Structure 1
Amino acid sequence: MDLNTIRKEREKWNEWKNIKPLREHLAALPNIQPSRVSFSDIITLEESTLQETEKKKIDALAWMLRPWRKGPFNVFGTFIDSEWQSQIKYNLLEPYLDLKDKCVADIGCNNGYYLFRMLEQHPKKLVGFDPSIHYKTQFDFINHFIKAPITYELLGIEHVPFYETRFDVIFCLGVLYHRSDPISALKALKKGLNPEGEVILDTFIIDGDAPMCLTPQDRYSKIPNIYFIPTVTALQHWCQRAGFRTFELLCIKKTDLEEQRKTKWIEGESLDNFLDPNNHELTIEGYPAPKRAYVKIRI
């Protein structure tokens, strides 16, 4: 697979009619060095000498870049209240992470919130994979000011085996249930690892001890392209069949309205609209409500 050819083709996505105006506004942003950057729960950029005209340009582009799914961010006093309170997931995983001097990838990285958080652990290299030019433009907006040494690739999980770098740690959060062949997806992650490498994985699960899966008829919690929702046992079997030696269950967590909710920074519906209004233990389609398993798997 020729990744450079794919990269060149996907660079043309910047010319799409809905993206080109955003890229033009991005190119016109003032070149401001923040006086302070914090990579805590709210990724915060501060600058006390920001001029009003500069602030208006920054705020206008932040608003144009909706919907903001992952975050939150505070950009020079403007709070981007994202749909997902992504600090909840990251803080859950952080005690299990050792990223210092390691090559790290985040598959399905969205706007890079987790990648920015990882900077505090001083990894050797950070690469985000996501085939969404909208999310990359959000990342470029934030990183225009931070200038972090993060590589953002408009590539997906299927490109990982052919990537020029092998990784010590790969994050794959909220991706596996979008793949029609989850075992092949896990094999792709395995091929992207260095010896002794590990994957931090989260995916929807259903309750039960049997190695079984839910296969939604059409949508699950109004989400398209959801193929298989396994029990933890079935997920472990998938990982074993993909060639992973160890499987460590870190946590099981139900998605709640604290973690995912509608704000003015998104367009459309959120979790409250995806659940049965009379019973939040069920999705609007009648399936078990979203619950995720967080696991660490090693080769």
Structure 2
Amino acid sequence: MDLEAVRRERSEWMKWKNIAPLREALEKLPSFGAAVTLGNTVELKTEEPVDMAEVERIARMMMPWRKGPFDLFGLFIDTEWRSDLKYNFLRPHFNLHGKKVADIGCNNGYYMFRFLEDTPTKVVGFDPSALFKSQFDLINRFVKSDIVYELLGVEHLPFYEEKFDVIFCLGVLYHRSDPVAMLKSLRQGLEEGGEIYLDTFIIEGDEPYALCPSESYSKITNVYFVPTLKALENWCLRAGFKSFEVLGTVRTTSDEQRKTDWIESHSLEDFLDPDDNSKTIEGYPAPIRGYVRIKKG
């Protein structure tokens, strides 16, 4: 696969009529190295003069903001997801110091900014979204990190110029119609001995089964399979992984995912049965996430 050709093609996405105004506005903002606090909120501070009305105008042009939260010089971007909860759940299980790290489905880069506290050798994000890359570019205009953001997907990982020591793939697997093929792509992106931190929707049960939604799951139309942990383990074994470790399971609640004025769309409360929150609006078991670590070799 000619990745440079893919990159050239996707760079044209920045000229789309809904994206080009964002890019033009970004280029008019100042760029400087702000002080960054990598806590639950990725917080930026500066003594440089900043037109905060313009920063907020541009940030709101980039809605919806899904992952975060961020604080840009006092402008709090209260994202749909409290991504700090997922990050803090996983944090005790990894150390990225001196490692090459990839984030598949990196969205606006919230997790990648948090990774910087471990001083990895390199951080690369993969996400084919011109909007999310623009959000990342807004933040990174002031963070001025060396994070690389690629408008590529998991299918490009086997052909990427580098292999990674650690790959995070959070909330992506259920969007793929062939989960074993995706897991194989992830494995091909790893160095020998590398590891993957994976989270995906699961259903409860001890048998190797998977739910196959007919049209949507929690109003998400591109959810294809929701496995039990045993089914997920079998997928990983078929993809060639030798190690499968369950780190935990977490039921999604409104503490983690909810409507805010930074999304202007439906969220978890609209996706569940209003009379029985243990079920989705379609009648399926409500979202539970399984967190696992799988290793190559």
Corresponding position of 1:118: 115
Corresponding position of 1:187: 184
Corresponding position of 2:197: 200
Distance in 2 of aligned mates of 1:33 and 1:159: 32
Distance in 1 of aligned mates of 2:48 and 2:186: 45
Corresponding position: 1:33 with 2:33: yes
Distance in 2 of aligned mates of 1:3 and 1:106: 18
* Partner secondary structure for residue 221 of structure 2: coil
Distance in 2 of aligned mates of 1:60 and 1:209: 50
Distance in 1 of aligned mates of 2:269 and 2:256: 11
Distance in 2 of aligned mates of 1:267 and 1:4: 36
* Partner secondary structure for residue 172 of structure 1: strand
1:50 Cα offset (Å): 2.7
Distance in 1 of aligned mates of 2:134 and 2:95: 29
Distance in 2 of aligned mates of 1:134 and 1:58: 16
1:48 Cα offset (Å): 3.6
Corresponding position of 2:20: 20
* Partner secondary structure for residue 81 of structure 2: coil
Distance in 1 of aligned mates of 2:104 and 2:48: 37
Corresponding position: 1:278 with 2:272: no
* Partner secondary structure for residue 37 of structure 1: strand
Distance in 1 of aligned mates of 2:159 and 2:48: 45
Distance in 1 of aligned mates of 2:245 and 2:209: 19
* Partner secondary structure for residue 25 of structure 1: helix
Distance in 1 of aligned mates of 2:266 and 2:22: 23
1:225 Cα offset (Å): 0.8
Distance in 1 of aligned mates of 2:206 and 2:188: 29
Corresponding position of 1:142: 139
* Partner secondary structure for residue 237 of structure 1: helix
Q: What pairs with 1:1-299 in structure 2 (closer than 5 Å)? A: 1-34=1-34, 36-51=35-50, 54-299=51-296
* Partner secondary structure for residue 86 of structure 2: helix
1:31 Cα offset (Å): 2.4
* Partner secondary structure for residue 293 of structure 2: strand
Unpaired stretches in structure 2, ≥5 consecutive residues: none
- Deviation string for 1:32-59 (max 9, x for gaps)? 332x2101100000124434xx222111
Runs of 4+ in 1 over 2 A off after TM superposition: 48-51
Please give the TM-score of this superposition, normalised by the length of structure 1: 0.98
Contact (CA 8 Å) 2:38, 2:114: kept in 1 or not?
yes
Contact (CA 8 Å) 2:32, 2:144: kept in 1 or not?
no
The aligned amino acid for 1:40 is: G
- Please give the root-mean-square deviation of Cα atoms over the aligned residues, in Å: 0.7
Distance in 1 of aligned mates of 2:220 and 2:57: 29
Aligned residues: 296
* Partner secondary structure for residue 295 of structure 1: strand
Deviates more, 1:12-21 or 1:25-34: 25-34
* Partner secondary structure for residue 145 of structure 1: helix
Distance in 2 of aligned mates of 1:146 and 1:238: 38
Distance in 1 of aligned mates of 2:59 and 2:139: 9
Deviates more, 1:39-48 or 1:149-158: 39-48
* Partner secondary structure for residue 292 of structure 1: strand
Percent identity over the alignment is 57
Distance in 1 of aligned mates of 2:253 and 2:49: 37
